[in-house]
């Protein structure tokens, strides 16, 4: 059935619900109109339409409750069909004859059915998201303005609506659209897919409990290439958890094993995150639905393998962390504000869980006693009249939770922006880009080319010389919410500065002698870049010209008409700004470009050219052979865009790449590399990327080490490490040449 829905030009789901009230549909139409208006203007707006949508809250909520209780929403196959059909899925709701008009809004689709109410599934999904924004975040503001004395809305609806939308998102409506995604074509239509964590979340509320059925639906939702023999699974009685993990690992999907969703402690006794997690840990896993840009190399499959001795093997990056950055000056500027606000934040987080407030007060007082008397007096003045060390319940912070989050966020943003500008001023662009690419916002608020084009600078080199004095820092930077509900993911770097007054960073370890690597030194970045340009300019220009000439000949031999589009895709995110400054018209930096390494790009071109040649040379009489090479729209679009793409090798800048890690000593860090995470705008899960502190394996090896991989026997790898602990990190977005490493645990768990 998965192929049936992929081939279909239109999919229809006949729902069991009956829409009887015109007021319910009118509320939905108003909400849809407001959402479309908001989307077109690219920001949340006020005005009559928004207020009108808010005034119809109860009618819209009643309609959503009716849809959420639809009996078909509990069937697992319905979810698979909706995912396979993507934006081609239309929902048909029954209505009493001659009682409700069909027209009146572009939300309804009268050409699909005249007897039912037809709504495109993705439009309904968008309405759910807009309603969640309007009713749970913006509507309480209107309620307080219209009736400041009594917040009737918050008292009556807020908890009810929040629960309703959680149910809608996880039980019925897919949360995202697959717009613009040509990364994986089936018969000519894009197929929506998700990772293992998202699929498990969607299937959790479904009624189908047959293991073979659920495993098949799981594989279809994730669009896996490698499948299990479900007949054998049924005969042998394998549990569903084993099937899910086997399918995920077989297809290189380790979203269930993201270490950052677990507690990252400073101690060395933390269990290895790649071991089978407990049920409590699985509940905290954050899911996402990736829809990468069009011109991209599909992520390699079958690269994440379990080892017999309780470890994993994967393509990754090795960082040597051995440089310390003194940040005492920054702590002296913001230490007081950060300490007070973070204390109140921890109070809100932990007082409900039974942790005594006095346990938080004592280290705070000790911190201020070690500083100047004026700082301690400031703390006492804030708490005067409400602080009683013997009675923790008397601690009533002078902030409400929402105001506290805003105040603390403003301090975090200010600290981070000052750090980025400090690194930029000192020409440490590699370090500055590592932080910038991990925290940059979706839009650029400063007047100039980037704001006009709707883009964001890829590198801090593109920043203006002076930032406006009236700049809102929270418009430039963006933090990602911690899925555990405790603050933001990127604030670890600020917490380390305030706790220790220092940061540790390192550089990539070179793993190949075949590239044009710039030797890593810790001199200024200006000297390194000048050396790289001087050594590689002539050879790089000649290689690029040879590749372009060879590609032009191959394209000309196919007698294909090239479109006249003038836009190109920037391959090198790191040094594109420098070339653009020199007037090179072939490089344009966009916020949605995805860097592609030169050798991968050449292989992609070769594969597409081979397909074109084979399709043109197969004799017309051999239809079966010709069908093997027939072109689909996805490969054609990919070919035409790739033919116009300028190739820039990134090897010249790899030696200057830097990364910060949440460590306090020299060490080695291994990071599994995922192309789907190296995007701009960055995915929400990039800040949760796996970074593992490791030590070399002490076992003796003859030549290169060999490890036992489940199902594949002994495999030769570059190096084997032993896991120490999971850490957080920040590095610049880009494509990196990877090496296959193995990480093992000292105490593997029984599976």
Pairing of strands 89-94, 11-18: parallel
- Model pLDDT, residue 380: 40
- Model pLDDT, residue 531: 43
- Model pLDDT, residue 689: 72
The 3-state DSSP class for residue 443 equals coil
What is the arithmetic mean of pLDDT over 730-748? Answer: 73
Identify the bridge partners of residue 220 per DSSP, sorted by sequence position: none
* Lowest model confidence (mean pLDDT) among 9-18, 250-259, 439-448, 583-592: 583-592
Share above pLDDT 90 across residues of the chain, in percent, rounded to a whole number: 6
* Long-range contacts from 390-396, C-beta under 8 angstroms, 24+ separation: 392/351, 392/356, 392/357, 392/358, 392/361, 393/357, 395/347, 395/351, 395/357, 395/361
- Model pLDDT, residue 320: 92
Q: What is the dihedral of CA 585, 430, 331, 726, to 10 degrees?
A: 120
Containing 125, the helix (H) or strand (E) segment is: helix 121-133
Q: Which of 256, 179, 191, 189 is nearest to 225 (CA)?
A: 191
What Cα–Cα distance (Å) separates residue 5 from each residue in 1, 121, 215?
6, 14, 19
- Model pLDDT, residue 464: 85
Of the ranges 318-332, 433-447, 632-646, 683-697, the best mean pLDDT one: 318-332
Q: Which of 281, 285, 409 is nearest to 341 (CA)?
A: 409
The sheet that has 117-120: what strands, in order across it? 11-18, 89-94, 117-120
Chain segment 175-187, per-residue pLDDT in tens: 444 443 333 433 4
Question: Does residue 720 surpass a pLDDT of 50?
Answer: yes
What Cα–Cα distance (Å) separates residue 195 from each residue in 141, 244, 263, 291, 450?
36, 11, 22, 11, 33
What is the arithmetic mean of pLDDT over 187-208? Answer: 67
Chain segment 401-413, per-residue pLDDT in tens: 555 566 677 788 8
Beta strands in 398-553 (DSSP E): 502-508
Chain segment 363-390, per-residue pLDDT in tens: 444 444 454 444 444 444 443 333 343 4
pLDDT band at 442 (very low <50, low <70, confident <90, very high): confident
Chain segment 133-159, per-residue pLDDT in tens: 776 665 555 555 545 544 444 455 566
* Lowest model confidence (mean pLDDT) among 46-55, 124-133, 306-315, 673-682: 46-55
- Model pLDDT, residue 191: 65
Contacts of 690 (CB under 8 A, 6+ apart): 257, 258, 259, 260, 273, 671, 672, 726
* Lowest model confidence (mean pLDDT) among 105-114, 353-362, 562-571: 562-571
- Model pLDDT, residue 64: 82
- Model pLDDT, residue 518: 44
pLDDT band at 264 (very low <50, low <70, confident <90, very high): very low
What is the arithmetic mean of pLDDT over 535-562? Answer: 46
Q: d(Cα 256, Cα 276) in Å, to the nearest integer?
A: 9
Mean pLDDT across the chain? 63
pLDDT band at 666 (very low <50, low <70, confident <90, very high): very high
Cβ-contact 128, 169 below 8 angstroms: yes
Cβ-contact 722, 694 below 8 angstroms: yes
pLDDT band at 294 (very low <50, low <70, confident <90, very high): very low
What Cα–Cα distance (Å) separates residue 325 from each residue in 321, 428, 715?
12, 11, 39
pLDDT band at 660 (very low <50, low <70, confident <90, very high): very high
Share above pLDDT 70 across residues of the chain, in percent, rounded to a whole number: 43
Residue with tokens 């200010």: 414
- Model pLDDT, residue 334: 84
DSSP assignment letter at 427:
T
């Amino acid at each position: 059935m998965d192929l049936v829905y992929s081939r279909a030009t239109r999919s229809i789901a006949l729902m069991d619900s009956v829409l009887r009230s015109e007021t319910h549909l009118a509320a939905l139409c108003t909400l849809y109109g407001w959402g479309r208006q908001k989307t077109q203007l690219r920001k949340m707006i006020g005005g009559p339409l928004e207020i009108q949508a808010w005034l119809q809250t109860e009618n819209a909520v009643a309609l959503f409750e009716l849809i959420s209780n639809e009996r078909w929403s509990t069937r697992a196959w319905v979810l698979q069909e909706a995912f396979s059909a993507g934006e081609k899925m239309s929902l048909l709701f029954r209505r009493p004859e001659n009682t409700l008009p069909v027209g009146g809004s572009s939300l309804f689709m009268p050409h699909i059915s005249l007897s039912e109410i037809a709504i495109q599934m993705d439009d309904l999904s968008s309405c759910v998201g807009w309603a969640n924004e309007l009713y749970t975040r913006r509507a309480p503001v209107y309620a307080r303005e219209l009736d400041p004395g009594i917040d009737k809305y918050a008292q009556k609806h807020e908890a009810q609506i929040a629960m309703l939308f959680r149910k809608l998102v996880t039980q019925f409506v897919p949360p995202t659209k697959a717009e613009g995604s040509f990364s994986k074509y089936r018969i000519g239509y894009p197929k929506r897919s998700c990772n293992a964590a998202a699929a498990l979340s969607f299937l959790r509320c479904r009624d189908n409990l047959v293991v073979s059925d659920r495993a098949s639906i799981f594989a279809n939702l994730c669009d896996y290439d490698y499948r299990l023999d479900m007949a054998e699974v049924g005969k042998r009685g394998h549990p569903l958890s084993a099937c899910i993990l086997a399918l995920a690992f077989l297809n290189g999907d380790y979203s269930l094993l993201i270490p950052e969703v677990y507690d990252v402690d400073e101690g060395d006794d933390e269990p290895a995150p790649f071991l089978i997690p407990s049920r409590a840990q699985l509940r905290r896993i954050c899911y996402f639905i990736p829809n990468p840009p069009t011109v991209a190399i599909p992520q390699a499959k079958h690269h994440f393998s379990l080892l017999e001795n309780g470890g994993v093997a994967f393509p990754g990056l090795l960082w040597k962390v051995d440089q310390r950055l003194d940040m005492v000056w920054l702590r002296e500027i913001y230490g007081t504000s950060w300490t007070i606000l973070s204390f109140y934040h921890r109070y809100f987080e932990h007082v409900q869980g039974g942790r005594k407030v006095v346990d938080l007060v004592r280290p705070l007082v000790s911190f201020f006693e070690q500083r100047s008397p004026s700082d301690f007096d400031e703390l006492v003045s804030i708490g005067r009249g409400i602080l009683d060390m013997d009675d923790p319940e008397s601690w009533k912070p002078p902030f409400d939770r929402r105001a506290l989050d805003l105040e603390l966020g403003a301090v975090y943003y200010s600290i981070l922006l000052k750090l980025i500008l400090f690194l930029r001023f000192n020409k440490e662009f590699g370090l500055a880009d590592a932080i910038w690419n991990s925290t940059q916002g979706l839009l650029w608020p400063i007047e100039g080319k980037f704001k006009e084009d709707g883009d964001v600078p890829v590198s801090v080199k593109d920043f203006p010389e002076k930032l406006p004095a009236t700049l809102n820092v929270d418009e430039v930077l963006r933090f990602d919410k911690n899925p555990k509900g405790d603050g933001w993911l990127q604030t670890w770097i600020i917490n380390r500065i305030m706790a220790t007054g220092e940061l540790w960073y390192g550089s990539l370890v070179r793993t190949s002698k075949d590239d044009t690597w710039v030797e890593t030194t810790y001199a200024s970045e200006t000297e390194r870049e000048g050396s790289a340009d001087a050594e590689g300019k002539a050879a790089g220009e000649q290689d690029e010209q040879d590749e372009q000439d060879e590609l032009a000949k191959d394209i000309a031999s196919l007698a294909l008409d090239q479109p006249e589009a003038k836009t190109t895709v920037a391959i090198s995110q790191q040094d594109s700004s420098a070339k653009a400054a020199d007037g090179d018209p072939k490089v344009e930096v966009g916020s949605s470009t995805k860097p592609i390494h030169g050798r991968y790009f050449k292989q992609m071109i070769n594969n597409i050219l081979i397909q074109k040649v084979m399709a043109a040379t197969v004799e017309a009489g051999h239809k079966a052979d010709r069908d093997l090479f027939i072109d689909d729209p996805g490969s054609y679009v990919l070919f035409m865009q790739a033919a116009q793409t300028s190739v820039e090798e990134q090897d010249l800048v790899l030696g200057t790449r830097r990364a910060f890690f949440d460590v306090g000593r020299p060490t080695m860090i291994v990071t599994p590399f995922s192309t789907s995470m190296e995007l701009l705008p960055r995915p929400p899960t990039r800040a949760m990327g796996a970074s593992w502190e490791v030590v070399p394996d002490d076992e003796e090896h003859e030549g290169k080490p060999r490890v036992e991989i489940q199902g594949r026997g002994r495999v030769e790898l570059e190096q084997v490490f032993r896991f120490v602990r999971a850490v957080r990190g920040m590095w610049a977005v880009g494509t990196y040449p990877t090496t296959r490493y193995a990480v093992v645990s000292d105490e593997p768990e029984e599976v």
